Amino acid sequence: MTENTAAIPASERPGTPAQPQDLIDVDALLEAYRTGRPDVTDPAQKVVFGTSGHRGSALKTSFNDDHIAAITQAVVEYRAAHGITGAILVGKDTHALSGPAQDTAVEVLLGNDVEVLVDARGGFTPTPAVSHAILHLNAGRELTPAGFAADGDNAGLVDGLVITPSHNPPADGGFKYNPPHGGPADTEATTWIADRANELLAAGLEGVRRVAGADVAGHPRLGEFDFLDRYVSDLPQVLDLEAIRDAGVRIGADPMGGASVAYWGEIGRRHGLDLTVVNPEADPTFGFMTLDWDGKIRMDCSSPHAMASLIERMRPDADGEAPFDVATGNDADADRHGIVTPDGGLMNPNHFLAVAIDYLYRHRRRWPADAGVGKTLVSSSMIDRVAGDLGRELVEVPVGFKWFVPGLLTGTGVFGGEESAGASFVKFDGGAWSTDKDGLLLCLLAAEIIAVTGQSPSERYRDLVALHGSPAYARIDAPATAEQKAKLKTLSPDDVPVTELAGETILATLTNAPGNDAPIGGLKVVTQNAWFAARPSGTEDVYKIYAESFRGPEHLKQVQEEAQRLVDAVIG
């Protein structure tokens, strides 16, 4: 008997294939994008830049033509205020709203007489390909960490817009600005852009200059850039593709319907790799996906539910043979990576980051010997122990990839990684490759590790566990009002009165990141064998508790419980 999935709530079907009732109505979504008019008195409908730009949905009147027109005009004015006169690169992913948003942005850019470069192949563009292209076109110009020319003359510098909500569900849209350094814009830039965009929205878009859609084709200021060719051609500068090819590593790459779909096939062909694109389909409903933990379609390559079909495909046959030596997944803009091995299944992102760091710092001989190991403060302390074993300084920064940009740009920070499966690193010679997260890069690194060491990343992680111990790591959410979240965001170490956590002496209470002294927007408490970090959610009435223990799952649970009691007491 065939199961009637239509009668089963989506939330009870994580890891199962999406059904027709789970899919978005693309036509209705696009109509809402064109016709929706945001109410700027409603905070949920204003422009808000998080760690990865502005995100929303046309169905919630939080991502519409008006939003994108206002944000793009604000970006134009921001560029003008800083004397940035070069072209602006525009890339999009495969979400349904990304195409219309690109059309809006291009019309506003051309209306302001800004030179625009779009994809020469008329396709989709991963975030790291935009970042790499910006760095390529700005090569030879010394830049500051903020993304401006060191000599104060920004004329001729290029920057970019990336239109993507990353791994978010199909009804969502996203829009982010990357300055001339190629990475995510810093808080000062995004605050200015968001404030100006909201002013324009409140003024009914008065001040937004825009050409008609019919006048875009053939416009003298509209040009093209071959993002794919630039990215794929330059890969040997950052990865040992020859070793992967010679070892015959079998790679199964799943773009998960995202912007990397054409890239994977070309990488395999051009570099002679044994690489199979296991799902070449691009569908704005993402109807081929398996449902995530909450029953939503979400292209999260770190989720075993969203990656269920690839995990199943990697199961060994009756003879113990898996179809690939490594299978990989990417989210819709390919800035995140998922690694599946025959012997370990889908790797926890923290585990692969630790393996990547241990491998890279031992095999990139030309990297500067004094370059530290970059991690966000909610990433696993296994990375701390790996860095110590390598004799490298640990550079711990707040959540947000923007904090890694200065190091990656200058080569003083050769690797940066987040617990949410986002990372990048520099070229063999220490030069910048991508100052934004690069999921393709990390997936191919997994293949290089297999080729060079003869071990899978899972096997190498087990070696690290034998050396450093086995951490238990988890994240939970706790309820909090807007007032409580605001208080959590502005805590000082003096606000925490306790000296012990889960039976261990507290060694550090942090509200600023030790790697760069930037505010973490929350609290981190560290003991010898455990830690927790609490941060307010930007979109929900909760705060997030990240926690880890090297003393096992039961101790982790104790850490979580005491962390919640401590934070609740402090924020009232």
User: How far is 200 from 186, CA to CA, in rounded Å?
Assistant: 21
What does residue 461 show for φ and ψ, rounded to 5 degrees? -65, -40
Distance between CA atoms of 268 and 261, rounded to whole angstroms? Answer: 12
- Provide long-range contacts, Cβ within 8 A and 24+ apart, for 497-500: 498/566
Q: Would the CA dihedral through 561, 565, 567, 572 be positive or negative?
A: positive
Residue carrying the six token digits 């965009």: 197
Residues 182, 431 contacting (CB under 8 angstroms):
no
Task: Give me the catalytic one of 52, 57, 98, 166.
Answer: 166
CB contact at 8 A, 498 and 505: no
**Residue 215 DSSP one-character state:** G
CA quadruple 506, 507, 509, 510: dihedral sign: negative
Q: What angle do CA 339, 345, 350 make, to 5 degrees?
A: 50
Helix (H, G, I), strand (E, B) or coil at 545: strand
Rounded distance, CA 384 to CA 392, Å?
Answer: 9
Q: ∠84-86-91 over CA atoms, to 5°? A: 105
Beta strands in 187-323 (DSSP E): 222-225, 250-254, 274-277
For the chain, report the end-to-end CA distance as a whole number of angstroms: 54
Element (H, E) at 450: helix 439-453
Q: Tell me how crowded residue 2 is: count the other CB atoms within 10 A of its CB.
A: 4
Q: What are φ and ψ of residue 524, in 5° steps?
A: -130, 135
Residue found by looking up tokens 């509209």 in the block:
222
420 is catalytic: no
Contact 178, 162 (CB under 8 A): yes
Active site residues: 166
